[in-house]
Structure 1
Amino acid sequence: MNSRLKYLLERWSDDQFTEAERQELIDMLQSASTEQEIIPVLEDMWGKIEDEGLFSEVRQQTMIKNILDRYPGREVPVDRETGKGMHVSHRNPFIRKWSWTVAASVALIMGVGTYYLYHQKQAEVPTGVVQSISNVQQGQSGVLITLSDGSQVLLDTVKNGRITLQGGTVAKVANGIFEYEKTGSEVQYNTISTPKGKQFRLRLSDGTAVWLNAESSVKYPVVFTGKERLISVTGEAYMEVAQNPSIPFRVEVNGGTSVEVLGTSFNVNAYNNEESVRTTLLDGAIRVSMKGAANKLLKPGQQALTTTGDRPVQVFDDVNAASVVAWKNGVFDFNDVPLEEAMRQLARWYDIEVIYPQTIPKVQLGGTIKRSLPFTDVLYFLGNVGLHYKLEGNRTLIILP
């Protein structure tokens, strides 16, 4: 029982479990006979959520209150920080008897949705939103690999298996990760590109792991030769670089930014419609340079901003790295994110166009949203934070004053 529960929770946290597994998990949580096994596992799960630093203590309290407000009934949970009863209650039989941390875990698993974390009620869909809104999901086009000869292969069709590429190169897809089994002797360059609404993972021949965000690409040699390992990136990518001090790893980014890696994990955001290239270091060390500017050596937790022109490389300390790489874990993190930037993220993922016919509203977003949510739920979230909008032509989102 305990091991099965842990397995299902891991499947849930990775957004991988089936509807049947989801129902099995809910049935398991509702079973009073297994309560003593369930509670410690859920408390451990919540502890891991806290350790990730996704929610501050204040936001945790607000989140729990708003989740439990959806279950009106008799009992009142206790705020663990103040020891005082919170003026919320819940009639759900398997939520009412547990601690608020366990109740929160259950509520999230039941599919309450992270857009309820800070807002108690669903917003009504504004007048003017077309009925076909439910059809707006993640983009439908595929992940492509472009070979040296210009030919292309749609990787979405390769679930778990091997494919033979140009020059005798053999690659495979295993557990959602693309990697090379046989590279051959001929120097070739491959490019993997993602459309709007899709992410992809690959492992380079040296063992470096790459996560590509939506509408991004990475160009790399099938096998590294020479005195350095050089790849190029557009859009956004997170990398865990295999250490090899004798052969430095370098990333070229559009706009002239260059990142020299010294065995590390980092994130680079280089979308063309962003004002600057943002390179964030999670572990190890990197050197960021820009044509015409002095390079900067980054420490973990720092972020470098580079722009075109003769501007110097700017370095910012104490960056929330977990927020920066939230996309890699299937989450939009909108805490302290300007409205325009958040809308650009949504546009890339849901393959929509965002238009501001007048002034850009001064709306402050907050909280996190799972990328697996349908766009309908995202619109509820936007309505809850006071944003006015309408959807035209199914994929044009008009932001109103």
Structure 2
Amino acid sequence: MSGVYTIVKGNTDISRLLQGHINGSLTNAEKEQLLAFLSNLDNVEDNMDAINSVCEQFVGGPPLYLEGEVEEMIQQIIQTNNIPLKTSTNPTQTGKVVFLRGMRWFKYVAAALVILLVGYYLWPNAEKTKTDLVQQISPSFNDTPLVSGSVLLTLSNGEKVALSKVKSQSIKEGDLHVKNENGTLTYEKSNVVVYNTVSTPKGVQFNLSLSDGTVVQLNAASSITFPTSFSGENRVVRITGEAYFEVAKNSSHPFIVETYKDKITVLGTHFNVNAYPEEEGVKTSLAEGKVRVNNTVLVPGEAYKNNEVMPTNIAQDLAWKNMVFDFNQCDLKAVMRQISRWYDVDIVYTSVIPSMRFYGKMGRDLTLVQILSILEKSDVHFKIEGKKLIVSK
């Protein structure tokens, strides 16, 4: 692993030890000191600022681990180093480490020990996995980070315009003028009211600015239909797939997003809507402000899906717009759906889908082979045939 990580938060001693471990500069005595520190769950919980700081930097890298593997690896780390795990829940407990999934500290230990102690050593082995995987790829496969399909603008008369072919130009539809510059489509206020649709292919994101100043970011394999100029009481758009909205405030004219299932009403706010049909329900996540989904009001940090309100990890919900895959707590099928939409491959399962959950983040600028080589650290194997991605145990 290359690069030097700097920890900016937390207790000075643990920060120094964690930084030294990541940078490979610890002495044997310091390694023992770090292991002893992390084996005490009270220490871990009391110093989460320092641990979270380095995890935030390092978990964005390649290591991914299955939920079932976490416990086993922590067990092996502690036993291999002959250091007993001290818990605050049962200080007399001896022998095998007992992991309590419901305990608040479980995720702390998992992050600290698995990411910092295990991930550091396992990642270099991914190059061998990648070599093995390449041998299973058909010669015609083009392993590029993104597909090269064009974003399409469908005008009110049905004409389709490939936006990649009209960069830095204005698009005219009657008296309507639309600017297409720097990867953003901008609609100016006009008396012309017709409906346009912007559609993204797999592997491509796109931004547009509506006539009221609302900014929309479309994820891959998504679309938005909207009026070229808002008139009437409400500002109404309709989406498929996924989109992030920064809505221009106008209390007199509520902004409404329609999906195949839900209707989201806002006055001015930032929120994300995931309405891919294959995701089995529309998920609306609120980052800022207030929205009403059907008849339910959300506050920041909440999401609405399948008629239920739930707390949500906003950073994870918005990771896509920052060009990141965030697979934390995702099962295999959820991971594969994201990969299918981004790399334009069709997923084929040849066996019973393993029950597993993944933890970790990866950049969307990685190639498909790089992504799969990391995922193959789990008990899953991949083979690429044309546009088919075959998944097996």
TM over 0.5: yes
Task: Give the aligned residue type for 2:174.
Answer: G
Task: Give the aligned residue type for 1:332.
Answer: F
Name the structure, 1 or 2, with higher relative contact order (CA <8 Å, separation 6+): 2
Task: Give the aligned residue type for 2:334.
Answer: E
Instruction: Check conservation: 2:176, 2:192, Cα contact below 8 A.
Output: no
Match of 1:180 in 2: 187
Match of 2:358 in 1: 365
Match of 2:288 in 1: 283
Instruction: Check conservation: 2:172, 2:178, Cα contact below 8 A.
Output: yes
Match of 2:70 in 1: none
Match of 1:114 in 2: 61
Match of 1:154 in 2: 162
Over residues 59-104 of structure 1, what are the superposed CA-to-partner deviations in whole Å (9 max), with x where a residue is unaligned? xx99995x646xxx8867978x959899xxxxxxxxxxxx999999
Aligned runs of 1:170-209 on 2, under 5 Å? 170-181=177-188, 183-209=189-215
Q: Distance in 2 between matches of 1:352 and 1:212?
A: 19
TM-score (norm 2): 0.71
Match of 1:342 in 2: 335
2:279 matches 1:271: no
Identify if the C-alpha distance between structure 1 residues 63 and 271 changes in structure 2 by more than 3 Å, giving closer, same or farther.
farther
Q: CA deviation at 1:302?
A: 0.7
Aligned runs of 1:20-35 on 2, under 5 Å? none
Q: CA deviation at 1:233?
A: 0.5
The alignment partner of 1:345 has SS state of helix
Task: Give the aligned residue type for 2:309.
Answer: V
Q: CA deviation at 1:175?
A: 3.3
The alignment partner of 1:380 has SS state of helix
Aligned runs of 1:305-320 on 2, under 5 Å? 305-306=305-306, 313-317=307-311, 319-320=312-313
Match for 2:372 among 371, 379, 391?
379
Q: Distance in 2 between matches of 1:340 and 1:353?
A: 12
The alignment partner of 2:358 has SS state of coil
The alignment partner of 1:384 has SS state of coil
- Bigger radius of gyration among the two: 2
Over residues 228-247 of structure 1, what are the superposed CA-to-partner deviations in whole Å (9 max), with x where a residue is unaligned? 00000000001011110000
2:346 matches 1:353: yes
The alignment partner of 1:186 has SS state of coil
Instruction: Check conservation: 2:18, 2:54, Cα contact below 8 A.
Output: no
The alignment partner of 2:359 has SS state of coil
Aligned runs of 1:33-52 on 2, under 5 Å? 43=6
Match of 1:260 in 2: 265
Unaligned runs of at least 5 residues, structure 2: 39-49, 64-114
TM-score (norm 1): 0.69
Match for 2:174 among 162, 167, 178?
167
Task: Give the aligned residue type for 1:244.
Answer: N
Task: Give the aligned residue type for 2:180.
Answer: V
Q: CA deviation at 1:180?
A: 2.0
Instruction: Check conservation: 1:284, 1:299, Cα contact below 8 A.
Output: yes
Q: CA deviation at 1:333?
A: 0.1
- Which stretch shifts more, 124-133 or 378-387? 124-133
Aligned pair count reads 314
Match for 1:398 among 345, 367, 390?
390
Q: CA deviation at 1:348?
A: 0.3
Q: Distance in 2 between matches of 1:101 and 1:146?
A: 46
The alignment partner of 1:343 has SS state of helix
Match of 1:301 in 2: 301
The alignment partner of 1:273 has SS state of helix
Q: Distance in 2 between matches of 1:339 and 1:368?
A: 14
Task: Give the aligned residue type for 1:298.
Answer: L
Match of 2:93 in 1: none
Q: CA deviation at 1:168?
A: 2.1
Instruction: Check conservation: 1:196, 1:350, Cα contact below 8 A.
Output: yes
Q: Distance in 1 between matches of 2:35 and 2:29?
A: 10
Match of 2:246 in 1: 240
Instruction: Check conservation: 1:162, 1:170, Cα contact below 8 A.
Output: no
**Percent of matched pairs sharing the same residue:** 38
Over residues 273-295 of structure 1, what are the superposed CA-to-partner deviations in whole Å (9 max), with x where a residue is unaligned? 11111111111111111xxxxx2
Instruction: Check conservation: 1:210, 1:238, Cα contact below 8 A.
Output: yes
Match of 1:95 in 2: none
The alignment partner of 2:237 has SS state of strand
Q: CA deviation at 1:140?
A: 2.0
Q: CA deviation at 1:362?
A: 2.3
Q: Distance in 2 between matches of 1:261 and 1:378?
A: 37
